[in-house]
Amino acid sequence: MVHVPVFIKRTPIGDFTAVAPDIPGSFARGATPEEALQDMRTWLFGRWETLQSFGQDVCLYLSPVEGLIQDPKFTEGMWESLDIDTDQGTGAGPINLVQEDRRRRPRAH
């Protein structure tokens, strides 16, 4: 089981957007926070299924939520944990997941 931090925010027009800050390009929208979170789950599985269809591993570098909360880009919204069962996976089978802690990534010079 993987817990992906997702930030959900109400837009000026009244719907909700969701982003997973550790997953580049992630974006979802819904009429309610629950719909935005479900749309994010659908987006993630679609992306991961595509990666796997090309024989690539799904690599996640997940930040601790405590660090993300400190980021000024993520104010006036709420955090949710999107729980992903990697054994269940996508319609193409289990997710071949490579998960690392971002704090241990080497820095670029």
Q: How far is CA 39 from CA 28, 47, 86, in A?
A: 5, 12, 18
98 inside domain:
yes
Q: Are strands 78-84 and 2-10 parallel, antiparallel or unpaired?
A: antiparallel
| Domain CATH for 32 | 3.30.160.250
109 inside domain:
no
Binning pLDDT at 50, 70 and 90, where does residue 72 land?
confident
Count of structural domains within the chain = 1
Q: How far apart are CA 86 and CA 65, in angstroms?
A: 20
User: Is residue 6 a contact partner of residue 40, using CB atoms and an 8 Å limit?
Assistant: yes
Q: How far apart are CA 23 and CA 65, in angstroms?
A: 14
Domain encompassing residue 19 = 2-104
pLDDT tens-digit map of 75-91: 889 999 888 776 665 55
73 inside domain:
yes
Q: Structure pTM? A: 0.76
88 inside domain:
yes
Q: How far apart are CA 25 and CA 50, in angstroms?
A: 14
